[in-house]
Amino acid sequence: MTSTLDTVVIGGGFSGLFLATQLARLDRDVLLLEASPRPGGVAATVIEDGFVLEPAAGTFMLPHRSLTPLLDSAGVAVEEAYPDAALRYVWMRDSLVAIHYGPKALATSALSKRGKLRMAAEPFIRSSPPDEGVEESLREFLTRRLGREAGTLLSHIAASGVYAGDPNNMSAAAAFPLFTELEAEAGSIVRGGIRRVRALPKPRPPKPKSHIPVGGMSEAAATLAASLGERYRSEHPVTSVTKEGDYFRIEGAETLHARSVVIALRPDAASAILQDIDTTVLHGWPSSRVVVVGVGGAAQDVPLPSGFGFLTGPDTDAVTLGCLFESSYAPGRAAPGRSLAKVIAGGARNPGFVDRSDEQIVEAVVSEMERALRATITPSWTKVLRDAAGIPQYDLHHRRRLAAVDDLEAANPGLIFAGWAYRGIGVAHLATDALRVADRIP
């Protein structure tokens, strides 16, 4: 048998990179194997014609208790987003309406007076979550807490803005656990939030702000990988993982043995390499396909407002889920005097849109940008990016599926599943999960 490693991590997306970084920080014996020539997975920055387009995550909210130490230890360079990054809009009633979070939410004109009054009553609403074992949808939960109008609007933009999903089919507890935890703790989202803020140590930690990785997410991934040195191997697709006594045998460019194997791949890709284990639970994991479109040009030809961007409201008939004003909030995304927008379209509402031709996609999203921004858009550069596998959906069956994944791990000690399909979809969740997983590895 070849020498035995403590831990092999399979998949060099941000999930695998964070876990390997954490294990390296703990001075543990770890090897990260990535199939492609470059690390970063779906977050593969496109740099063309002076535009920097992120097809997946593009920002980090920092400081963050798990993410900050990982990025800092690898030396990932970040810079703060422009101050207007906090300005967000909903495209509704044929225009862009500013939307605020926290106490300022009541200032929005996105809701009627009556809708705002009902939302403001949330701390006093006594209503119980459904019985144990019954999954409540995001829309049901937010409507129960905030009233029909605010609940419908917020569940829609939260589901489509984060998951490209359908609020009627997403589990509130799985997709936005903070909301349901706050209700469980204090009987109200608002009262729970206040209680948590009061419990923070003094002086209070600084509020997280949007930060942009210098050179893009691919550069951040490359820095994380470089900091691993010989603990990272690219162009090393793993073809199978099988059990061999107390060890796992990992086949790929070479044969390796490890006590623990972390599979930081999508569930279907994980299932494909696990040949002697029943992985039925990983089959057909739900996802929502989106297309990301870069729309760039001279600032006067692609006029963008200040702010982060807009999400499409529930009553607006459009294929666009949201549009980020990249050059308005993020340094380095376009050369001076030029603008870049990133449109995300398709999703649960328009799943077939992704299959249209690039020309049709560009035509549709540019014409919707014109409607939303009430401006003429004549881009000099466009880019259409499709991710065949789509965004994992934390739907009404997600927690049941996750429990089955826990059972699979328990039945196969040393085998661990990680990645955005399971315990949190954003990069900050992946960092938190990396710390949790590292603690579990003996």
Ligand X SMILES: Cc1cc2nc3c(=O)[nH]c(=O)nc-3n(C[C@H](O)[C@H](O)[C@H](O)COP(=O)(O)OP(=O)(O)OC[C@H]3O[C@@H](n4cnc5c(N)ncnc54)[C@H](O)[C@@H]3O)c2cc1C
**19 is a contact residue toward ligand X (CB under 6 A):** no
Exactly one of 28, 42, 168, 298 binds ligand X (CB under 6 A); which one? 42
Q: Show the tokens assigned to 13.
A: 């997306």
Q: How far is the CB of 160 from ligand X (least distance, A)?
A: 11
DSSP for residue 345: E
**174 is a contact residue toward ligand X (CB under 6 A):** no
C-beta of 144 vs 236, nearer to ligand X: 236
Exactly one of 8, 43, 81, 175 binds ligand X (CB under 6 A); which one? 43
Q: Show the tokens assigned to 95.
A: 């225009």
**85 is a contact residue toward ligand X (CB under 6 A):** no
**369 is a contact residue toward ligand X (CB under 6 A):** no
Exactly one of 7, 9, 13, 173 binds ligand X (CB under 6 A); which one? 13
Q: What angle do CA 24, 29, 33 make, to 5 degrees?
A: 80
Single-letter amino acid, residue 194 = I
Compute how many residues bind ligand X; rule: CB under 6 A: 35
Cβ neighbours, 10 Å, residue 305: 14
Nearest CA to 287 out of 347, 343, 354 is that of: 347
Exactly one of 5, 16, 356, 393 binds ligand X (CB under 6 A); which one? 16
**325 is a contact residue toward ligand X (CB under 6 A):** no
Exactly one of 170, 258, 282, 292 binds ligand X (CB under 6 A); which one? 292
**269 is a contact residue toward ligand X (CB under 6 A):** yes
**237 is a contact residue toward ligand X (CB under 6 A):** yes
**290 is a contact residue toward ligand X (CB under 6 A):** yes
Q: How far is Cα 59 from Cα 307, in angstroms, rounded to an integer?
A: 14
Candidate ranges 167-175, 184-192, 203-211, 418-426; the one touching ligand X (CB under 6 A): 418-426
C-beta of 143 vs 327, nearer to ligand X: 327
Q: Which of residues 338-357 bind ligand X (CB under 6 A)?
A: 344
Positive/negative CA dihedral, 439, 440, 441, 442: positive
Nearest CA to 107 out of 79, 87, 128 is that of: 87
**265 is a contact residue toward ligand X (CB under 6 A):** yes
What is the full DSSP assignment across 71-103? Answer: HHHHT--EEEPPGGGG-EEEEETTEEEEE--GG
**Does residue 201 have a cis bond before it (omega within 30 degrees)?**
no
Nearest CA to 40 out of 24, 55, 30 is that of: 55
Which residues make up the interface to ligand X (CB under 6 A)?
10-16, 33-36, 41-43, 56-57, 237-238, 264-266, 269, 273, 290, 292, 344, 387, 391, 419-420, 425-428, 430
